[in-house]
Structure 1
């Protein structure tokens, strides 16, 4: 699937390079929002958003060999997290330092893990992909994680689409299998290593850690005859449907880590529950994502650009 609506370009005999940070001041944000990377990333989000409309995670969606390899990779990362002993340092206040051990192991093996995903003619893309991949799981110094890291993981998937590793038929599985397993990994990591939210807006943010699953998850619920937006604030309903809908799984995780009235600890989500239709929730969340994640300098200043996702103007 072409992420910008055009034909996918060929990367055979292409010279890849290590991505670098190019948004260094607020004035650079306009260039970013007019870039090929921005256009193609939002194209990717939009294509997957449409592909999962009305689908639930229990349905039998096609999984290509590339998707199966991604799922195996995430499973391996989860296994590593479980086998690394936690640090017992008594003076730790935030985060468990064992996370750094896991993070370094992922980094040390990143090139091999990613190389296994790629056909021979684009093996050189590892140099770009591993930068997004390594930054997808949080910061090892601060032991925190947030929507900027989630953005890097989705950018990694977008790159795989541009390279032709993933195709249009994979779009449902990208959300309902790959993102699902990534989210489950990160929730387990947050609990095991006591990871802090990165750049949290607190009670006024959509979620301390995630955003994309709310977009694709609300698309899943469009046209659902049994679940309306007002229903997700019911803890029992959210929990009973968490294995079917990304949106409900996110709400259920919030309910496990936060206490008190939902309207108080998740005020933005509470407001969304007042909308009448999931189509309005979905379109509103896309606008919010552009403004609150892709439109924020503190997030984009950390995003690296290479030759797959570039700061050049869109072609054509």
Structure 2
């Protein structure tokens, strides 16, 4: 009798989930696009969502993108710059376009979007061609050195890959198009992780966004036509490939505080994922705690897919290993979560010095200030900008037992082992076959 009741209850829940999944969520109108971008101090994170301005003819003689943010005053300048407004404007605009849209919806793809998807697939193929280093000296829980080989392959292939995008191929003005590719290439290969530290965080995710922003400012991508595809096809495929890269090479989370974000590596899929769910008639923020709901809706919504990915490698509840996500689940509506995500991204990613110091500025993404004093600045062994000959006081270098030296403690001074590496090592110690799925492990 009890078993029959349980089966009936399970069948009823399955039917309810199927009905919810098949419900068409009403489309939310696009936000009004202001003539001028909203500044970083505005209260409404969606006011002023805008299409980035098109830069028709970048200066061929300008230097290639380089890092410009060294100090807090540099960061303060960036926070009030046109580049800052354009980055946040693209995030807001894309967020508006995907409200009420599912990952599984039919979306028309333009020729540039199709080529970009092919490029991301090519990077995925490079991962398959570059196996993890299984040498006993390199099987720690930290980054696998084979990632540096993958990174070099991506750098070497970048120009050829970019030539497949309409507008970047060698046409009537090959010198101009080559210059465009060189500018965009910096953001592209920096978006797959850091080869020196073998880590990944929201700064690298930001580079991918800047790459897409550059393509938009050149008019190759058009938000009115491509915004849905940018988020639900291009960006989501990038996230899926990055998950494979993180798992294959055990990339460490960038920074001693993870990514100042929401999981070990990413932020934007939660932001745009919350946007997808705004106005949903049934799913609520607290629904992330229901395993059956996660299983049912992860294919449709980025937010649920990200929670599902976290649960696949970490046991216990979100409250223990992802307290911020747990707190967000108490918010009453996705609209509030959505607004909070944009504000949080501005504060916790764009306005965080350990992240912003790795940003690149050039013709497409203009820092907006004279390039003075750069002759006294150099990069240390971990890619941080420091004044020549200086060693930041009180910071340890990134690494494992390497001692004192130049570095930023808040950025990469405390190595954090990859949860994927820990899971595989525990599996191996238990005598499991290497080809079996990664076992969930307690967060430690």
The alignment's TM-score, normalised by the length of structure 1, stands at 0.94
Matched-pair contact (CA < 8 Å) for 2:199–2:252 = yes
Larger radius of gyration: 2
Alignment of 1:86-165 (within 5 A): 86-92=132-138, 93=140, 94-119=142-167, 120=171, 123=177, 124-165=179-220
Q: How does 1:163-202 map to 2 (within 5 A)?
A: 163-168=218-223, 169-199=225-255, 201=257
Change in CA separation of 1:7 and 1:230 when aligned onto 2, cut-off 3 Å: closer
Q: Deviations over 1:47-102 (max 9, x none)?
A: 10000001001111121010100110011110110121221111222122221111
1:239 is matched with 295
Contact 1:35 1:312 in 2 (8 A): yes
Between the two structures, name the one with larger relative contact order (CA 8 Å, sep ≥ 6): 1
Q: Secondary structure at the match of 1:263?
A: helix
Gap runs ≥5 in structure 2: 1-32, 38-49, 370-444
- Which whole-Å CA distance do the structure 1 matches of 2:114 and 2:104 have between them? 17
SS at match of 1:177: helix
Unmatched runs of 5 consecutive residues or more in structure 1 = none
Q: CA deviation at 1:36?
A: 1.3
Q: 1:70 to 1:6 in 2, by over 3 A?
A: closer
Deviations 1:267-308 (A, max 9, x none): 000000000000000000111111110010010111110011
Aligned to 1:22: 68
Report if the CA contact (8 A) 1:204-1:268 is conserved: no
**TM-score if structure 2 supplies the norm length?**
0.67
Q: 1:118 to 1:200 in 2, by over 3 A?
A: farther
Q: Which runs of 4+ in 1 moved over 4 A?
A: 1-4, 202-205
RMSD: 2.0
Distance of aligned partners of 1:293 and 1:10 in 2 relative to their CA distance in 1, 3 Å threshold: closer
C-alpha contact (below 8 Å) 2:216/2:222 kept by paired residues: yes
Quickly say closer, same or farther: Cα 1:307–1:177, change in 2 above 3 A: same
Please state which structure has a larger fraction of its residues in helix.
1
Out of 45, 48, 53, the residue aligned to residue 8 of structure 1 is 53
- The structural deviation recorded for 1:116 is 2.1
Greater Cα shift, 27-36 or 177-186:
27-36
- Secondary structure at 1:27's aligned position in 2? helix
- Asked if 1:84 is matched to 2:139, the reply is no
